[in-house]
Amino acid sequence: MNGAFPAVDGALAVVAAWLAIGLAGLLAPRSFRFVAHVLFPLSALASLALAAFGLAAIPGAPQALVLPIGLPDLPFHVRLDALSAFFLVILGLASAGITIFAAGYFRAGEGTAPGVMCLQYQVFLAAMAMVMLADDAYAFMVCWELMALSSFFLVTTNHRIPEIQHAGFLYLLIAHVGAIAILLCFGVLQANTGDYTFANMRAQHLPVVPASAAFLLALFGFGAKAGILPLHVWLPEAHPAAPSPVSALMSGVMLKTAIYGMARVTFDILGPPLWWWGVIALAIGLATALFGVVFAAAQVDMKRLLAYSSIENIGLVVIAMGLAIVFTGYRMLPLAALAMTAMLYHCANHAVFKSLLFLGTGSVLHATQERNLGKLGGLMRFMPWVAVTSLVGVIASAGLPPSNGFVSEWLLLQGLLFTGAIPNPYLRMLVPVFAAGVVLVAALAGYVMVKFFGVIFLGRPREEKLAHAHDAGALERLGLVWLTALCVLMGLFPVQVMQVMDPIPSMLVGHGLVQDGHIGNAFLLAPVSPERASYSPLAILGATLAIAALAFVLVRRFYHGRVRRAAPWDCGYPWQTARMQDTAEGFGQPIRQIFEPFYRMRRELPTAFDAAPRYRVTVEDPMWGWIYVRIATATESVSRVVGRLQRGRISIYLLYSFVTLVALLFLTQA
């Protein structure tokens, strides 16, 4: 592939194709059918091509190009190496499913005109791809901003609703706070050479203080985009506001560009990281994961629930990254490769299953016009396609075998368990505590996912209108099935997936898992050695299916298969209604009680004498009160003081200029 047609040209061609498709949308901005049935399927094909080019480029040598665009002296440098190729594969595979779903999803007359929205959507895709291809700080920042802006417009597709304007503003604000930190980080990395290409930054060997400053700035800047604590506040606002395919794209893919940036700066540009950076990442990651999952359990809006679950998953990815940093810092390379594989695997998994779940909520939203879990229920009978595909996503998201979510959590736990050789005794003591935290997060994720699936799809419909809910259309089904298939395949063939991604740890930490034969055979995943740990999803799935089939046949053979339908038993209580099932609040109540200090809760309880009794619980993010409200009040009081300078009279302003001038003259003379 490298000789005849370089993959980097292919990737750039896909970017150009996306931009062309986006511009084509402007030809007929009002024509809904042209956009949905011609442009979006074409864009999905381009996504598949991107995934293919990425796959071809992962094992190859890095390919670099200089593009004749940009400012006169600052051309765009582009480079495709194993790390960018892997994230391009994630982008291509996930966006193929999301785009084909979107082709069937967007309806005429919702917010922005379809052609304009098509442009925003394609620019968003192209910008994400270019972020992963950029090889100098200038190109990177331009594409990063383009990504933020295009997604801002997509979030505010239904821009007439005040809530959505609010969410969009918050998103834009935090995106820019993060972008400033990234810019500063690149400033530190170029070490006063004035050359902002990544190649030059790699060549600099920074002393400890600037290198650590660069790492912390990168963690903050990219963390704002990824949604680590306490910069996560935009996520649960922006994801529900955006149309579902956009939420899927943002949560599944855009969050990964931030992880890509962190990995790029930490492992590639900065060179071998220091071990204590990893400890910071571990601590932040665990706090983020725990916070995300505890809040996900308390949500009543299905898309907010998924947004908090994304925060949890980003936390797990950051934990894996922290572990990889610790191991690299201590030059324990095989274990660093294991932790990095866990990180990359979880990125890919989350991209697939979270996109799948967000698309599922999109279908539910269209069928019922309802986002509140408390008003859904029993949709499995009316929407079997969405329900079954979501069930796969739910099992993956809960991290249960034999799904893909389990593989990455298993790898992460293996990495956390075998830390006995770490020279630092405090760290050796601390790491198993992180293992305990990860396990708690994984178990809570199961609770959240049972709530999500059970309340939406099972039970009886909580509202009359739900009986008329329709299943997803053909294109939507195609997108859902594509992502489901990816979930299943990545769950059942972990060894093959890890072989594909192996060049990345080889490149970044100088060691791969395959080169020592430490990966097991085609059916048995054994990252260190089979005596130490092994896992075979194919055997588990095969054995459970065989046992279930055998049990089914034997029961029919020796007994019978008779069924009688009757009213539900429910301990003989005949007056039950669908309203007596647990609501989302009810299902989350034990978690709210146990983790009460985490939440800021307001309860309105009815009294015995109310004519219209009313019960309401609102759960708020405490980070607002602890951090954001304080920053806002501090800013306001500072601006009030500064505001006193403004008198609105020209003579006073002239006086200010005069005083400044005199003061400056005085300073230069002295």
Closest separation between CB of residue 448 and other proteins, Å? 9
**How far apart are CB 454 and other proteins at their closest, in Å?**
4
Nearest approach, Cβ of 582 to other proteins (angstroms)? 4
Q: Is 8 helix (H, G, I), strand (E, B) or coil?
A: helix
> Closer to other proteins at the Cβ: 143 or 367?
367
Tell me the C-alpha distance between 396 and 409, whole Å.
10
Closest to other proteins by CB, 124 or 587:
587
Tell me how far apart the alpha carbons of residues 54 and 70 are, in angstroms, rounded to a whole number: 25
CB of 187 to other proteins, least distance (A): 42
Q: Least distance from C-beta 493 to other proteins, angstroms?
A: 15
- ω before 613 within 30° of 0 (cis)? no
For residue 320, the minimal CB distance to other proteins (Å) is: 16
In terms of CB distance, is 30 or 468 closer to other proteins?
468
- Among candidate residues 114, 108, 35, 104, the one with its CA nearest the CA of residue 473: 104
Nearest CB to other proteins, comparing residues 58 and 383:
383
Q: Which is nearer to other proteins, 575 or 666 (CB)?
A: 575
> Could you tell me which residues come within 8 angstroms of residue 192 by beta carbon, excluding any fewer than 6 positions away?
none
Question: Can you tell me which residue has the tokens 């080889």?
Answer: 506
Residues contacting 65, CB < 8 A, separation 6+: 8, 9, 12, 77, 78, 79
- Could you tell me the smallest distance in angstroms from the CB atom of residue 273 to other proteins? 24
- Spatial distance between the Cα atoms of 81 and 268, rounded to a whole number of angstroms: 11
Q: Which helix (H) or strand (E) holds 62?
A: none
Rg of the chain in Å (alpha carbons): 26
- Rounded distance, CA 388 to CA 484, Å? 9
* E strands present in 486-532: 520-521, 524-525
* Closer CB to other proteins, 107 or 532, in the complex: 532
Q: Which CB sits closer to other proteins, 153 or 453?
A: 453
The two beta strands, 63-71 and 616-620, are unpaired
Judge whether 181 and 220 are in contact, CB under 8 Å: yes
Cα–Cα distance list, 636 to 55, 171, 432, 640, 657 (Å)? 51, 20, 44, 6, 25
Closer residue to other proteins in complex, CB, 90/394: 394
Q: Which residue type, as a one-letter code, is found at position 162?
A: P
Closer to other proteins by CB, 174 or 300: give it. Answer: 300
CB of 518 to other proteins, least distance (A): 14
Nearer to other proteins, 194 or 425 (CB): 425
Contact 227, 251 (CB under 8 A): no
- Closest to other proteins by CB, 530 vs 625, is 530
Smallest gap from residue 406 Cβ to other proteins (A): 6
Please list, in sequence order, all residues whose beta carbon lies within 8 angstroms of the beta carbon of residue 225, skipping any fewer than 6 positions away. Answer: 175, 178, 254, 255, 257, 258, 261
Is residue 430 within 8 Å of residue 281, measured between CB atoms? no
Region for residue 271 given its phi and psi (left: phi exceeds 0; alpha: psi -120 to 50; beta: otherwise): left
Distance CA 530, CA 248 (A): 37
CB of 400 to other proteins, least distance (A): 5
The nearest distance, CB 559 to other proteins, in angstroms, is 4
Tokens for 444, please give them. 């809570």
HEC profile for 361-413? HHHHHHHHCCCEHHHCCCCCCCCHHHHHHHHHHHHHHCCCCCCHHHHHHHHHH
Compute the Cα dihedral for 492, 498, 500, 501 and give only its sign: positive
**Least distance (Å) from other proteins to the CB of residue 232?**
22
Candidates 228, 224, 216, 312; CA nearest to 270 is: 216
Shortest distance, position 379 Cβ to other proteins, whole Å:
10
Give least dist CB 166 to other proteins, A: 33
Structure tokens at 650: 């020209």
Q: Toward other proteins, which CB reaches closer, 245 or 588?
A: 588
Q: Which is nearer to other proteins, 543 or 659 (CB)?
A: 543
Residue 616 forms beta bridges with which residues? 604
Q: Which is nearer to other proteins, 544 or 635 (CB)?
A: 544
State the CB neighbour count (10 A cutoff) for residue 630. Answer: 11
Question: 395, 585, 557, 374: which is closest to 490 by C-alpha?
Answer: 395
Closest distance of CB 401 from other proteins, Å: 4
Q: What is the CA 628 to chain-centroid distance, rounded?
A: 23
Contact at 8 Å (CB) between 246 and 155? yes
Nearer Cβ to other proteins (64/380): 380
